[in-house]
């Protein structure tokens, strides 16, 4: 077999012509490389298929048969290295987009995973597995520009978040958003939960640093937590009337009472919101975790954490957030 030196010489020396004229097939074209300092020859076949990329087939042939056996002859293809045929990029992208849409549609009514049935969870896991097999970013930690930015949690199987998502645990409060913001320049991660109530909203945020441990895995160490001060929301709008069992009830007499209560609550909220946020630090070893990113593109990220928990996050501004 010709060496690298021989191949370099081939770049600068003319190819020796042969007297035998190649027989061309409409779908297979052959050519031969004859190296000056070696008796070995290499035959290259170019196979074409409609709407597919070309496959380059390389095989060594003996000196007495420059073109090797024809495709119909026995032994054709022995020792041949053939590039695996792949679908066009546009076709692969369309397939991934379809899978992502099906995945996001499966999240409907699950309250980020809290209310998902076992059947829905099975469907979601199957779609996630298919996407992971088509991951366009095999080394996410080497594509930090894709990781950068704010990611909104769309689904999780992490039971540690379920008490937070349950309304019974947080009376009068609703989880509006759970997000993760990554700054690869500072190797920092910020996890945030936004709550909303009748008159104000607040948030709980944890900040952490991460270290790259492999092409897919990062180690996270939490450093600080912040409980934000309540921020006033819009005033409560009282309707003119409500319908109860087919009968309209006039609420005008109650507007004065509700307005008085609202003014008192607003005054309390204003005094609280003037206070600085409450900060606390993490000092124990339990404040460390790891995260494995198994799928990443410009708008969708799938990660797996401790205990096999799954997190599906969508980039802020992506159309996937408004299916």
CB 54 within 8 A of CB 27: no
Q: Are residues 157 and 193 in the same domain?
A: yes
Per-residue pLDDT, 273: 59
> Does the residue 247 lie in any domain?
no
Q: What is the dihedral of CA 238, 243, 244, 247, to 10 degrees?
A: 130
Give residue for tokens 């939960």: 193
For the domain that residue 291 is a member of, what is the CATH number?
A: 2.40.128.280
> Does the residue 307 lie in any domain?
yes
Domain boundary among 82, 109, 144: 82
CB 296 within 8 A of CB 313: no
> Does the residue 177 lie in any domain?
yes
Give pLDDT tens digits along the chain (323 positions). Answer: 444 443 343 334 443 444 444 444 444 445 544 545 444 444 444 444 444 444 444 444 444 444 444 444 444 444 444 444 555 678 889 999 999 999 999 999 999 999 999 999 999 999 999 999 999 999 999 999 999 999 999 999 998 888 777 765 555 678 899 999 999 999 999 999 998 876 667 888 999 999 999 999 999 999 988 888 777 665 555 566 666 555 676 766 666 665 666 666 666 656 655 667 777 787 766 678 899 999 999 999 999 997 889 999 999 999 999 86
> Does the residue 35 lie in any domain?
yes
Domain boundary among 82, 109, 143: 82
Per-residue pLDDT, 40: 47
Q: Are residues 171 and 290 in the same domain?
A: yes
Q: Are residues 132 and 180 in the same domain?
A: yes
DSSP structural state of residue 161: G
> Does the residue 253 lie in any domain?
no
Number of separate domains in the chain: 2
Domain boundary among 59, 82, 105: 82
Q: Are residues 133 and 108 in the same domain?
A: yes
Q: Rg for the chain (alpha carbons), in Å? A: 32
Q: Are residues 120 and 46 in the same domain?
A: no
Q: Are residues 73 and 111 in the same domain?
A: no
Tally of residues, the chain: 323
Distance of CA 147 to the CA centre of its chain: 9
Whole-model pTM? 0.62
* Residue of 231, 169, 156 lying closest to 196 (CA atoms): 231
Per-residue pLDDT, 35: 47
Enclosing H/E stretch for 210: strand 200-212
Per-residue pLDDT, 11: 36
Q: In terms of residue numbers, what domain contains 287?
A: 91-228+277-321
Q: What is the dihedral of CA 106, 107, 110, 111, to 10 degrees?
A: -170
Q: In what order do the strands lie in the sheet with 41-47?
A: 28-34, 41-47, 55-61, 81-82
- How many other CB atoms sit within 10 Å of the CB of residue 238? 14
Cα–Cα separations (whole angstroms), residue 245 to 241, 242, 248, 249:
13, 10, 8, 10
Q: Are residues 209 and 305 in the same domain?
A: yes
Beta bridge partners of 27: none
Q: What is the DSSP string of 173-198?
A: -EEEEEEEEEETTTTEEEEEEEEE-S
Q: Is 220 exposed, middle or buried (0-12, 13-18, 19+ CB in 10 A)?
A: middle
């Amino acid at each position: 077999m010709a060496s690298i030196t021989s191949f370099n010489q081939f770049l600068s020396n003319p190819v020796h012509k042969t007297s035998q004229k190649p027989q061309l097939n409409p779908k297979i074209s052959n050519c031969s490389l004859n190296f000056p300092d070696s008796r070995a020859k290499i035959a290259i076949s170019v196979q074409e298929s409609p709407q597919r990329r070309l496959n380059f087939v390389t095989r060594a042939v003996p000196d007495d048969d420059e073109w090797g056996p024809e495709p119909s002859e026995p032994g054709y293809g022995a020792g041949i290295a053939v590039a695996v045929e792949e679908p066009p990029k546009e076709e692969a992208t369309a397939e991934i987009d379809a899978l992502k849409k099906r995945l996001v549609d499966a999240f409907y009514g699950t309250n980020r995973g809290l209310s998902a049935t076992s059947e829905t969870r099975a469907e979601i896991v199957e779609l996630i597995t298919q996407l992971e097999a088509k991951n366009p970013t095999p080394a996410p930690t080497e594509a930090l520009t894709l990781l950068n930015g704010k990611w909104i949690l769309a689904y999780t199987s992490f039971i540690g978040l379920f008490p937070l998502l349950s309304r019974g645990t947080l009376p009068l409060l609703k989880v509006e958003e759970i997000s993760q913001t990554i700054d690869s320049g500072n190797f920092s991660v910020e996890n945030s939960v936004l709550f909303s109530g009748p008159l104000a909203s607040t948030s709980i945020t944890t900040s952490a640093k991460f270290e790259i441990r492999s092409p897919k895995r990062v180690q996270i160490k939490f450093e600080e937590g912040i409980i934000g001060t309540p921020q006033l929301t819009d005033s409560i709008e009282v309707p003119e009337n409500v319908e109860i069992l087919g009968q309209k009830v006039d609420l005008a007499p109650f507007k004065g009472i509700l307005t008085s209560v609202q003014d008192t609550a607003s005054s309390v909220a204003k005094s609280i919101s003037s206070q600085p946020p409450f900060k606390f630090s993490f000092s124990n070893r339990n404040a460390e975790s790891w995260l494995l990113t198994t799928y990443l593109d410009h708008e969708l990220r799938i990660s797996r954490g401790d205990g096999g928990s799954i997190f599906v996050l969508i980039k802020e501004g992506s159309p996937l957030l408004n299916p």
